[in-house]
Amino acid sequence: MAFKSLKLIFALVLVFAMSASLATSRKLPDSSMVERHDQWMSQYGRVYKDEVEKSKRYKIFKENVEYIDAFNKVGTKSYKLGINAFADLTNKEFQASRNGYKLPHECSSNTLFRYENVSAVPSTVDWRKKGAVTPVKDQGQCGCCWAFSAVAAMEGITQLSTGKLISLSEQELVDCDVKGEDQGCEGGLMDDAFQFIINNKGLTTESNYPYQGTDGSCQKSKSSNSAAKITGFEDVPANSESALEKAVANQPVSVAIDASGMDFQFYSSGVFTGSCDTQLDHGVTAVGYGKAEDGTKYWLVKNSWGTSWGENGYIRMQKDIDAKEGLCGIAMQASYPTATATA
């Protein structure tokens, strides 16, 4: 009888041990993910208000990381995804905080395109190498991509016209350009920003009117202290990558794209060839073009999501695709400022 009891006890111990082992094996991958989340929080200085918020963000982080890992494991695309500063945001949250381009109510009547008759363009262009591009900036949780796009294009033409690369103020546009379509962190248009700069007789420097990442009251004393001016702007003929190439060959150009997809949110490197729509929602700046080692042509695009995103803040987007709008609609609403002069 005692022997049978011992056997029963042994069997129960064995069952409990196996159950514990299975439970541990189930927890190990999740524990690893918890560690990755903790490391990510430390890397990006992320702090949550309480455990409920942390649990919610961890779940989103886990789903995003699993998507990124699965994508990279397949390895059939010409680009990679990465765990960046946006890894604890859902795609909808990401779009709401980072994309702020407004589609114009009507097409511009501006028909002048000064590069129309350009017959030859270089095979590659990179305005960074020619000193016409300031370091990558970060718009933060403010949907004013339109201001960063317009400012980057203006910084480029200012350097090309004056020889001086000056970091100009996005915050001035956010605070002061609010009487029309442009509404600070709630979105705007690059063309409207150019028109404001013309009417305002210029734009001041970043150092004089630094970026805050929130809507503020217009500081007129700072706004009146212009460091660079433009006298006009022109739209690139819509739905023509060849026209856009002519423009970018001559100066950095503001472009609007559809940046709503998860692959765009977590783009890390390579030539982006992912699927995207043409519902334009984000303003960026085309600062060049070229060809990758595998022969894929690309647009070199400066973003305003900081240097931890993409290739140190840039993305290479596939160029000369079959669709007339270009990948993600890059050729649909392009424009550039003209005739700058030292203020």
The residues annotated with a catalytic role in the active site are 145, 282, 303
Q: Would you tell me how many other CB atoms lie within 10 Å of the CB of residue 47?
A: 8
Backbone angles phi, psi at 316, to 5 degrees: -100, 120
- Helix 51-74 and helix 2-44: axis angle, to 10°? 90
DSSP H helical segments within 141-261, as ranges?
145-162, 170-176, 190-199, 220-223, 241-248
Closest-CA residue to 250 (of 151, 162, 120): 120
- H or E element: which one contains 40? helix 2-44
Burial of 214 (0-12, 13-18, 19+ CB in 10 A): middle
As a whole number of angstroms, the distance between CA 328 and CA 331 comes to: 9
Q: What is the torsion angle, in degrees rounded to the nearest 10, for the CA atoms of residue 95, residue 196, residue 134 and residue 291? A: 60
Q: Do the beta carbons of residue 335 and residue 234 sit within 8 Å? A: yes
